Structure formats: structure tokens, C-alpha cells
Amino acid sequence: MIRDAFPPLIRQIQNIAFLTGAVGLGLSFIGLYLQPQQFFISYLFAYLFWIGISLGGMVIVMIHHLTGGAWGFLIRRPLEAATRALPLMVLLFIPLLFGLSDLYIWTHPEDVAHKSVLHVIQKKQEYLNIPFFAVRAVIYFVIWLGIAYWLNKWSSEQDQKNQLELVLRLQYFSAIGAILYTLSITFAGVDWVMSLVPGWYSTIFGFLLGSGQMLSAMAFAIIIAVSFSKTKPLSAIFLPGRLHDLGNILLAFILLWTYLAFIQYFIIWSENLPHEISWYLPRVGSSWKWLGIFLIIFHFAVPFIVLLSRRAKRTNSILMGVAVAVVIVHLVDAFWLVVPSLRSQGFQLYWTDFTVPFGIGGLWLATVLWQLQRKPLVPIQAPGAEEAMEHGR
């Protein structure tokens, strides 16, 4: 019955996404044979982007449980569906374990020529080693899968019975889950991204990574919500006021990401210490700087200016266009976080930089759309849902 409530087009998109993912990954594994290091570089940034939407969606769902608000009923189901794609992302993480030696210099310190870098690696050897790296990854996934499981389980129970006990349980669990997410994404950011340059560190990098995940997840949720705005029961609560709220939240995440990115750069630029600038040197001292300028313009300035308009935030096509642009540009940001550390000579593109994101993204999107059809688009029985249908103009 639930599937029949969805337009047939969603199943066609799901099939196309799955086919695109299968073909994309199939072509990409040819690159694994021809250029293994470039394949794993492409795989890492693409993986970080797609799992980021699932994790960011998990955080936004927890924020909604903690704060309430009618805005959450428009996007809760798409974000919950995104969290249920995490088991797929666990499987897709496995190929990265076979590419650690192609990505991380600390896996073969005997080849390090620079004495200062070698000294840093030796000091961190008890932490930066392959077995402990894999163990920590397992811990992260256990935390994320556990949070996603209980959020979805209790949300499904709300569809059957509207009890205050479930509301309080989700609130308390979300408070704990938000803390666990903050800690785990910080350590994951250190392991998966910062350790590409072992001598570099930033105390706010985990927050920067997390803010980007929430930004991309919100943009994705807006795309789905607008796409199904005429489908019942979502159409009953898809009102200009609710759309305006989503636009404001998207703008807030853009500002948060911009603030963290700027303050990190500003502090490191002010101190100008060799071990701190090592991550930025290839990004500002070569042709990579143009990609940084691109991000300043299209990841901040353009969506910021557009979303200042009340009309833009209340117009389906405009807000959806901004959301699509944010998702695409955030993929470029994931590329910028990873690739210059490994292609430090200057801006370079390989064909796997296109096939791998399509491959992982196709499988991820097909899974999310499949999961989305398994529940009603709106948690009707949840507290506040009825009020959301009556207000918002």
C-alpha cells in the first residue's frame, strides 16, 4: 500500500540510479587496475561525500526530535531513509581498506624522505597503523548504525501508537546520539582526511566536516520534499511557511560551514606555523587555489545572496535549484578536502573522479529511494504532525 502511494516515476528513477551506480563502479574498477592510486583518491572523496549525506541526515533528525517544529515533518522521512543506507556504506568502505597504502603516507614510513614528516609519523605510530585504523572504523560504524537503527525503530513505532513515552525516549536518545556523533565524526575526520597530511592538525576540522554533512543532507532533503510536494500526505503540510523554514535552515547551515572554514583558515594563516600550514600550502600556492575561489563563490556567496530573498525561500523551483547547486558544489568541496593533499603539484583530474562518484552515488540513491517507499512520506501519528497540517501559511 505504501509503495502504491508513490508516483511510478520514483521506481523508474530508482532503477536508473541503480544501473548508473553499477555501471559507474564497474568502469571505476577498470581504473583500479590501470591507475590504483588515482582510483583510491577518487573513491575516498566520493565516499566521504555520499556517507556525509546519510550522517548529516541522522543529525538533523536528532535535532528535530530535540527541538520540534513543523519543518521537520517535511523532511524527516527522506532523512530517515538516508540513514538506512548506512549498511550499504559499510560495505562500500571495504575497498578503501585495500587502498590505505596508496592513500596514506604513514602506512609506509620507510619511503618518507622528509625527516620532519618521518619524525611526526614515528611519534604517532601507535595511533596511525592499519590494524588500529580498521578497529576505529568499526567503532564509528557501530555507533552510526546503532543510532540510525534506534531512531528508525522508534519512529516506526510512532506510526502505530502516539505515546509520550516514545517522544521522551527519542529526545533523550537524540541528546546522547548527538554527542556520540560529534565525537565519532571528529575522530573519523582525523583518520580519513587529516592523516593524509600526518603533520597537520586542526581542532575544528571535525566540526567543519560535520557542518558540511548537515548542509548537504538538508539540501538533499529539500530536493526530495519539493519533488514530492504534490504527493499525499506530504501535500497537506507542504505550505509556503514550511518551505520558508527549510530555506532558513539551509541558509543557517551555509553560514555555519562558511564560518568554520574561514576561522580555521584565518587562525592557521595568522600563526603561520610550518606544521599547521602544510595542509593549506598546496591549496593556496598552486592552481588548486582557483578551486578554493570557486567554493567561496558558489558554496557561500551565491546561495547566501539568493536565500536572503523571502520570495526565493517560498518558491519551489528557486529553493530546489539552490539545493541542487549546494549538493553539487559540496561534492566539489569533498574533492577539495581530499585530492590536493595527494596531487600537490597542481589541479589535476582523472576520469575516475567522475565515474566513482556516479558509481557510489547511484547505488546510494537507489537504496535511499527504495527505503523511502517503505514508509509514509509523513509521520502522521507523531506529536505535532496534526498541527503542522493546519498551520504554515
69: left (phi over 0), alpha (psi -120 to 50) or beta: left
On whether residue 183 sits in a domain, the answer given is yes
What integer pLDDT is reported at residue 161 of this predicted model? 74
On whether residue 96 sits in a domain, the answer given is yes
Q: What's the whole-model pTM score? A: 0.94
On whether residue 391 sits in a domain, the answer given is no
On whether residue 384 sits in a domain, the answer given is no
Decide if 329 contacts 254 (C-beta within 8 A): no
On whether residue 393 sits in a domain, the answer given is no
C-alpha cell at 76: 524527516
On whether residue 317 sits in a domain, the answer given is yes
- Count how many domains the chain has: 1
How many Cβ atoms from other residues are within 10 Å of residue 204's Cβ?
15
10-residue stretch averages of pLDDT, the chain, 393 residues long: 63 94 95 93 97 98 91 92 97 96 85 64 85 96 97 87 82 96 96 91 92 98 91 77 93 97 92 82 90 95 96 94 97 96 90 96 97 84 61 49
What integer pLDDT is reported at residue 220 of this predicted model? 97
C-alpha cell at 269: 594563516
Decide if 362 contacts 24 (C-beta within 8 A): yes
CA-based nearest residue to 346, from 295, 283, 287: 287
On whether residue 165 sits in a domain, the answer given is yes
Chain-centre distance of CA 192, in angstroms?
Answer: 14
What integer pLDDT is reported at residue 108 of this predicted model? 79
Q: Could you tell me the residue range of the domain that residue 66 belongs to?
A: 3-378
How many Cβ atoms from other residues are within 10 Å of residue 118's Cβ?
18
What integer pLDDT is reported at residue 200 of this predicted model? 86
What integer pLDDT is reported at residue 221 of this predicted model? 96
Tell me the DSSP string of 202-233.
-TTHHHHHHHHHHHHHHHHHHHHHHHTTTSTT
On whether residue 389 sits in a domain, the answer given is no
How many Cβ atoms from other residues are within 10 Å of residue 80's Cβ?
23
* Torsional sign, CA 210, 69, 306, 262: negative
| Amino acid residing at 172 | Y
Residue 216 contacts by C-beta under 8 Å, 6 or more apart in sequence?
49, 52, 53, 56, 326, 327, 330
